[in-house]
Structure 1
Amino acid sequence: MIPERLQAVKDNIEAAKGRRSPDKNQDVLLIAVTKNHDIYAMREAIDAGITDIGENRIQEAKEKYETLDRDVTWHLIGHLQTNKAKQAVKIFDMIHSVDSLHLAEAINSAAANIGKVQKVLVQVNLAKEDSKSGVYAEDMEELLHKVDEMPNLQLMGLMCIAPNYEDVEDCRPLFAKMYEIFNKVKEMSFQTANIIYLSMGMTHDYEIAVEEGSNVVRVGTGIFGPRQY
Structure 2
Amino acid sequence: MTARSLADVEYNYKVINERIAEAAQKIGKKREDITFLAATKTVDAATINHAISLGLDHIGENRVQELLSKYEDYNLENCSLQFIGHLQTNKVRQIAGKVDLIQSVDSLKLAKEISKESKKRNITTDILVEVNIGREENKSGVFEEQLEELLCQIAELESISVRGLMTIPPICDNTRKIQKYFNNMHKLFIDISQKKLDNINMSILSMGMSADYYEAILEGANMVRVGSSLFGARNYT
Could you state the TM-score of these two structures normalised by the residue count of structure 2? 0.92
User: How far 1:17 sits from its partner (Å)?
Assistant: 1.3
Q: Distance in 2 between matches of 1:80 and 1:163?
A: 20
Which amino acid in the other structure matches residue 177 of structure 2?
A: D
Structure 1 stretches (4+) deviating beyond 6 angstroms? none
Q: Distance in 1 between matches of 2:106 and 2:228?
A: 25
What secondary structure, in the 3-state scheme, does the structure 2 residue paired with 1:70 have?
Answer: coil
Decide which of 145, 151, 156 is 1:149's aligned counterpart: 156
1:119 correspondence with 2:130:
no
Whether contact under 8 Å (1:168, 1:204) holds in the other structure is no
Superposed, which structure 2 residues align to 1:140-219 within 5 Å? 140-219=147-226
What stretches of structure 2 of length at least 5 have no aligned partner? Answer: 1-7
Q: Deviations over 1:140-196 (max 9, x none)?
A: 000001111111111000000111112243200110111111111111233322210
What secondary structure, in the 3-state scheme, does the structure 1 residue paired with 2:224 have?
Answer: strand
| Partner residue, 1:139 | 146
| Partner residue, 1:34 | 40
Which amino acid in the other structure matches residue 77 of structure 1?
A: I
Superposed, which structure 2 residues align to 1:40-55 within 5 Å? 40-55=46-61
Which amino acid in the other structure matches residue 226 of structure 1?
A: A
| Partner residue, 2:5 | none
User: How far 1:3 sits from its partner (Å)?
Assistant: 1.2
Whether contact under 8 Å (1:62, 1:91) holds in the other structure is no
User: How far 1:84 sits from its partner (Å)?
Assistant: 0.6
Q: Distance in 2 between matches of 1:124 and 1:225?
A: 27
Aligned residues: 227
Question: What is the RMSD computed on CA atoms of the aligned residues?
Answer: 1.3
Q: Distance in 1 between matches of 2:134 and 2:218?
A: 19
What secondary structure, in the 3-state scheme, does the structure 1 residue paired with 2:234 have?
Answer: coil
Whether contact under 8 Å (1:169, 1:208) holds in the other structure is no
Indicate the percent of aligned positions where both proteins have the same amino acid. 37
Deviates more, 1:66-75 or 1:201-210: 66-75
Q: Distance in 2 between matches of 1:39 and 1:154?
A: 29
1:60 correspondence with 2:66:
yes
Whether contact under 8 Å (1:33, 1:220) holds in the other structure is yes
| Partner residue, 1:70 | 76
